Amino acid sequence: MVVGDFAIDLDTVVIGSGPGGYVAAIRAAQMGQKVTVIENTFIGGVCLNVGCIPSKALINAGHALQEAKGGSVFGVQSKGATLDWATTQDWKQHKVVERLTGGVSMLFKKHKIDTVWGTAFLKDDHSLRVMQKDSAQTYTFKHLIIATGSHPIEIPGFKFGNRIVDSTGGLSLPEVPKEFVVIGGGYVGSELASAYANLGAHVTILEGTDSILPNFEKDMVQLVLKSFSDRGVTVITKAMAKNAEETKNGVKVTYTADGKDQTIDADYVMVTVGRRPNTADMGLDIVGVKTTDRGLIEVDQQGRTNIPTIFAIGDVVAGAALAHKASYEGKIAAEAISGKASAVDYKAMPAVCFTDPELATTGLTLKEAKDKGIDAKAAKFPFAANGRAISLAQTDGFVRLVTNADGTVIGAQVAGPGASDLISELTVAVESGLSAEDLALTIHPHPTLGEAIMDDAELALGMPVNI
């Protein structure tokens, strides 16, 4: 192989090293493929560096501060609890983010996965060119997996700068703002609004629709709204953000609500109104890879595009922009390249929002089941009747099972303490076709939050013990 004007021959190439790309690369290597990853920013992608992981670090820091201030309910008296923001940010970056991204780099070494730094541009169905600042190199490949992720949408009137930021900037603010405006009440906006409220900011959420968190059921969202209200978070729905103007010491946000223009003076404004797939300017049109009007790449059940040698996964294909979805699709694509009959099955795709309280859902909601013509019912067990939740002083919320006519669990929702962890058992139940009786007959340790699943299963069977 000669570097320069000649192409370097590769086997399986993965563009992007986020939770889709790095998992696809490792699984491909495990299947015996020689893998090369092309990355233009940082190992671990948005999720590990400026998304899922650092946001959860800040959420946890906010919880720690609130626990230090609010222990009196347990008879614990603490005075003068303060936040050292520089230490928080240092911990988030060096003890959390770098530990995980360093771990991915070590896994690449373990599996003999090569990394090429630069931006990839497709030439044809078997070759691409990687551009760096002062050079470029052509590579051929047998198979390609596109896992380039997505980027935040910048809306008119809100050009990103020092005080007008996207979610990436929102995770690395130089200070905890006294006044913080969040535009968009979806997953990211609600999570970071919750985190900064716990860290001491007064937060205002401007949401264009009639409700925040539209992907969750209303009784779940109401719990978050109550928590927001208790912590002084202002939620303004049906509010259209018009523009923001950076001032000497802050930013003035103008929005329209109830037919009137109104303004908010804040320290920072964060825009979280969605993301766009990173599929532009990479040569997809030249190769003839089919995309939708939104720029999403069209794929089959194995992640294969209309070009047999090219696959795509994660945020660049249809479906929810979830890290675990990308990882799942990455494994399927890698196995398909090795000739396995693997195919995606989204029967039970869990989704979690790390607000206070946490929200989680998997499978079908009752409404979705009925819309599909399924004879279904729901059973809802409150955490107020769970011993562990009572001992945690976190009794708001519930576990809900959705079952069909023969008692099979086809969906579930959890709102409350530990929802992000409890949803996994329920996802297994939906994925495996377990019945409410199966869950009811499974011995759950006492006292635990997980008992609420057993109790709810008994409720679904009409024989509740603890309610």
Asked if residue 378 lies in contact with residue 459, where contact means CB atoms within 8 angstroms, the answer is no
Of the candidates 39, 13, 279, 330, which has an alpha carbon nearest to the alpha carbon of residue 151?
Answer: 279
Among this protein's residues, is 446 annotated catalytic? yes
Given 143, 324, 444, 446, which residue is catalytic? 446
Residue 145: its H or E element = strand 143-146
DSSP designation for 270: E
Q: Are 323 and 17 in contact (CB under 8 A)?
A: no
| E-assigned strand segments in 247-343 | 251-257, 260-266, 268-271, 275-277, 310-312
Largest CA distance in the chain: 74
How far is CA 205 from each of CA 183, 302, 303, 458, rounded to the nearest angstrom? 6, 39, 37, 39
DSSP E strand stretches across 370-422: 376-382, 398-404, 409-415
Pairing of strands 268-271, 179-183: parallel
> Is residue 16 within 8 Å of residue 147, measured between CB atoms?
yes
Q: Helix, strand or coil for residue 267?
A: coil
Residues tagged active-site = 446
